């Protein structure tokens, strides 16, 4: 239920997970769009080719994203948000191939997956990501 501090309804759908390895191997595919929903626009870097639609404004922009994806032939949109999966379902558009997905592990998991993933980032800042290191790694430093 929406509240005064969050006027948007909670998502009803749980989007399927897109494995990191699949996203990495299809980054250049025009059928995949990655959406970074962090409010702090790309802080620490972002995955190449992704767009930033902060979660705080996404609910109001989901119809625009839907139309843009349909027109562009995008088939998979991966991010953290059930609202887009809800919106696709609400359209009752049986001819659309558009699917909302959740990027497995998110951006933190992407960075922690290693060099092959980090190489596919723009404006990567190693110092920023150190705050998310696993506790045992911090103790060893």
Instruction: Give tens-digit pLDDT for 106-124.
Output: 999 999 999 999 999 999 9
pTM of the model: 0.81
- Residue 45 is predicted with a pLDDT of 94
Domain boundaries, the chain: 17-106+116-140
**What average pLDDT score do residues 28-55 get?**
88
Q: In whole numbers, what is the pLDDT of the chain averaged over residues?
A: 85
- Residue 8 is predicted with a pLDDT of 80
Per-residue b or e along 69-88, where b marks 16 or more CB atoms closer than 10 Å to that residue's CB: bbeeebbbbbbbbebbbbbb
User: Is the pLDDT assigned to residue 63 strictly greater than 80?
Assistant: yes
The CATH class of the 17-106+116-140 domain is alpha beta
Chain centroid to Cα 138, Å, comes to: 27
């Amino acid at each position: 239920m929406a509240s005064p501090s969050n006027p948007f309804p909670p998502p009803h759908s749980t989007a399927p997970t897109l494995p990191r390895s699949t996203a990495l191997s299809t980054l250049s595919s025009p059928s995949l769009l990655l959406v970074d929903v962090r409010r702090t626009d790309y802080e620490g870097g972002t995955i190449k080719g992704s767009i930033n639609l902060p979660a705080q404004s996404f609910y109001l922009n989901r119809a625009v994203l839907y139309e843009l994806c349909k027109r562009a032939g995008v088939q998979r949109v991966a991010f953290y948000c059930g609202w887009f999966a809800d919106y696709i379902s609400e359209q009752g558009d049986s001819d659309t191939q558009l699917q909302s997905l959740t990027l497995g592990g998110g951006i933190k998991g992407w960075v922690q997956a290693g060099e092959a993933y980090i190489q596919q980032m723009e404006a990567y800042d190693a110092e920023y990501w150190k705050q998310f290191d696993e506790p045992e790694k911090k103790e060893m430093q």
